[in-house]
Structure 1
Amino acid sequence: MGVLKKMKIKTQFMIAVACVLGVMLLIIYSLYEQTSRIVIRNNSQITEDLVRKFKLGMSQKVEEVGQMMLNLGFDPFLQQYLTQVNPSLLYEMSKELDRKIISLKAGRQGIEDIVLIGARGTKYSLNGGIEYVRGLEPEILAADGVYVSGLQKFSYSGTLQNALVFAQSIYADGSNGSADKRIGYIAVIANVETMFFDTDTPQSEPGAGFYLIDRYGRAFPETNVPDIARNVKALAGASEDLPASKDSIGGIKGSVQLHSLPDVQASLLSFIPEEALLAELNKVRTQSVFIVLFALLLMALPFAMIINNIVHPIQVLVKFINSIKSGGAIREARNDLKLEGNLEMKVVAEKLNGMLNELNSLTHKLVETTTHLLEAEIEKEKAASAYLRSQINPHFLYNTLESIKGVALELGADRVVEMTKALGKLFHYSIKGPGWVTLDRELNAVQSYVFLQLIRFEDRFEVGYDFTEEALRAPVMKMILQPLVENAVFHGLEPKTTPGRLLITGRVDDGVLLLSVVDDGVGVEEQELAEIRRRLALPSSLGRNGREPAVPAEGLGVLNVHNRLRLAYGEQGGLTFDSEAGQGTRIVLHIPLDTMQPGGDTDV
């Protein structure tokens, strides 16, 4: 007891952990030995028994199909049928052939159809499977001996089924002097589920069973195909059975093993869930619980001693802190503090006064945290700017494409080519390059847009441009002018019944770029104008949930542009909106040239 008090907490815990580890290693080793024997024994026994039974059943079925094809191939009546060319005799012989094949097929589970294809074009099918077999004819004729296809989809009785096609060439028996001459071939369509995966297939545990993988990688049953494909890919390339590996199929963990099936040129993927493998471990778990409980009882006394050496000094420290909180002198309280039990608590007593000096570092951290919050707010403003900008393009593209469609229906292809070129330039400009461009590039995009609208509205309005050289060199945000021109065309000039005029100007005045869009269209009513100006005066026209406010259609593009300018330049940026019903609308953008706030767009 006295020796432990002089040790560090780390040393005391190391002693405790060493004791716990010693006990736990003994438990783990015991469990490992028992579990390994049980799992290995169960996995090998279950897998071998199930696979042996499955392979035996499959081999019997395949042999039965092969024997049936062999018997039919040497049947004189069938050979006569394949070499017969008289349609009348073929019809009469087909009836007898029906009875013979139905009798042969009776009692053989899983055989859906028997197909005969003669070298002279004679065809016979019990259930209409000729076309399915015809698709495999090159492979059948090239095969030596019995041909087995991959998994095929076969429609029988209105339902689509998975099937394997067994086929074998038929040669003349020599009775007519043509021995060893190929006179056709016979094919048997076998239902995979009925023939190989019937109700007798063992499924002793939930999820246990087999998956048939053909030589093309297709699986049956088709459930859990991604898991099956992953295992087949990982185990591919082996000609012999592979050892079991752990994996999950259909969300169930278990043992996966791949077995070769040379009889059908395929593989068998066996899956045994962990529940089946670990079924006998309940007894071991119970024994483990008792061992752990007994170990805890043995460890209780040393742990109690160690805890006391830790808790008692902490209680003294808490009392000391409460005395400081109540207003006692810090230095006097520190001098009275005596902590015993471990070396670390003595260090705490000596260094307690140094904690006060850490207030400066905490203040510094607070400043850094505040800076991070401000940076996060700036990023939020950037996201809002990108959101506002993203709403401008789709509406314009929709209207322009509608214009192109109308012109294409009314006129020839030449004007469509012109409009497509202009639209391509504008669309390429809107999605490529940096977020900041010179005004002359922005003006080129606007001119492309106006060109398209002049075609659509059949020159119902004229456009004028007046820009100074200094203004054209000024940097602006991309797509800042086009929404205002669009607003003027669709809300000002389009409703006007007489020809109109649109004037777009730009100049630099006292370090501020002034861009104006003026139209003599229908204008805005006083009530709508008041609502637009009220929205422009707000700090932001977007609510906290990011949705657009309910504003007149004439003001939506204007508000988006205004908010982009405010986010980029602060209160110095923005636009003014003046309009009079029946007289027209004037919009002026104010862009400070000596300020570029980090909240604006910086890339696309």
Structure 2
Amino acid sequence: MGSKAGNSTAKQGILYKFKRQPIQKQFTVITGAFLVIILVLSILLFASIKKIFLQNQQNYADMYASRFSNELDNVSFQLEVLGNDFQNSAICKELLSKDRYSEFSSDLIDEINNKVASVKSLNSNIADIAFVNDTLHMSAIFSEEDLRLLYESSLSDQSITSAMGLHKSSIRALSSKTYYIYCYKIYQKGNIIGCVFISLDIDNLIIDDKGNTGTSSDSLESKASSFFLMDTNGNAYPLDNNSELFTDVVLDFCQNYISDPAHEDNDGNVSESYTYSDSNYVISLNYSEKSGCYIISSVYIAAINNYLIFAWRQIIIILIAILLFTLLLVYVFYKNMVQPINKFSGIISKMTQDSQRHLPEPIVVDGCAEVQDLTDSFSTLFAAIDELNKKIFDTTTKLYEEKIRGQATEISYFRSQINPHFLYNVLEQIKSLALSNNVPEIASIAVAMGKMYKYNAKGDPIVPFRNELEMTKAYIDIQKYRFKDKFDIIYNIPDEALDIPVIKIILQPIIENAIQHGIEPALHNCMLYIGCNVSKDLFTIEIRDDGVGIDKERLREIKEVLDTPHYEANTYVGIYNTNARLMLQYGPSYGITIDSQENDGTVVTIKMPKQ
């Protein structure tokens, strides 16, 4: 288990190291490996083709030899039947029983000739039927000496029928042909009175690769193979046109094999099959016991190699075409993928080395669409990063400026106030003095001013709206003592608004502006309205008066200042200061809006989030 785990880890390490190599090196290694694999596969393909061709050739040779052997056995069986017919023929026995030629009548000869002609017409393979005994030597193709030798040889065999093997005629005109001879002994009253020798024309027994009789075809199998028929005496006859090409080599081996008694068993029986092979030939011998002959097939390996050279040339041409196409693919891939990525990697490495944080110009790399999309996306990404960095810098700067402005606003606000503790003590003295002198109005004003200064001086900057409203009412009470019946006040405050937290002193500056700039200059009694509206996420306060209003030009200037995102808080007071504090507290979406019609009053709306 430990060894397997170690091997797996080693393989993963090698694969990881290869993945970490530059793409150009990976591409070179993979291309080289691919070419080596193609070469090895080509060699294996050639070896496999040669093996397949040789096996196919041997199969063809075995098939041809088996087919011829079957044909020869079939003919032998027919000859055996024919021999029985002659054995039972009275004319044949009458012919062979004569002791002298003078006893042969012309009618008997005619009958024998007619019978021979009849048999030959029924079997085209039969070239001759000879009748032989000590006196008679009757044949159309063999001489008397030939027949005498055949007769003497047949008498040495005790069997009724025997295969005499291959023989040639000693007659000069017929000496070029070889015949397969079958002998049948004719008996009368238990004694041999003669023999019938049936001669077969071997050319009519030859079967080509299509199963037809005659010479073999010009196929590769027939060109690389040769076939012989050989009897036990070593006499051979070629069965195809190629046999003559290999006669010397193959026949010498076969004759030596047949003459060697080592291939026979203890009973003298011949081995049915034997195969021999070397670098040049594969020779197979198949013995047919019925015909008494060997059917020999030989495969000429050199002929196969010659054909394979042609096939190898075709393979080389195909491989060259594949190689050229592969090189084209390699070039296109290298030019459009590897080289651009390598260049892109170099640009990134240089940027890292130089500690660059932005692109001075977009990256331009020639290559395929995917590589160009990659470089374009990278350039776009860097441009977005540059833009984001700029926004972050601007936002940071603005936040810092907002913080400074907020601090300045608070400082400006508190600088504008008188020390609340000192004033609170003074107001208490004024209240006591006014009550002692029976002046309740002054006492009420002092009480209201005390509430205001106490509210400003103590507590958190965020208070419930009810506290802000109480302080505002105290301020309005003071103003009502000042202006007598100049204005009336209407409050429209829902209970749910009283507990909403708000920043301090947002109503008083707006009320002060409304009284000072809207109500005081008016020639009629005015109305001051303070109302609230609470929605799901928004808290709105509305201060409305029906005073003199604001002219258009002045209203435009006020709106411009309120809409300006940044302005110096200590430059403005009142409504501007309050708007700045609201935006600093809640954000730029909240604050003060103002609307007015000249001689028709003013409406100021305060918007803040409901918290």
Query: Which interval holds the TM-score relative to the shorter structure?
Result: 0.3 to 0.5
TM-score by length of 1: 0.38
Higher relative contact order (CA 8 A, sep 6+): 1
- Which of structures 1 and 2 has the bigger CA Rg? 2
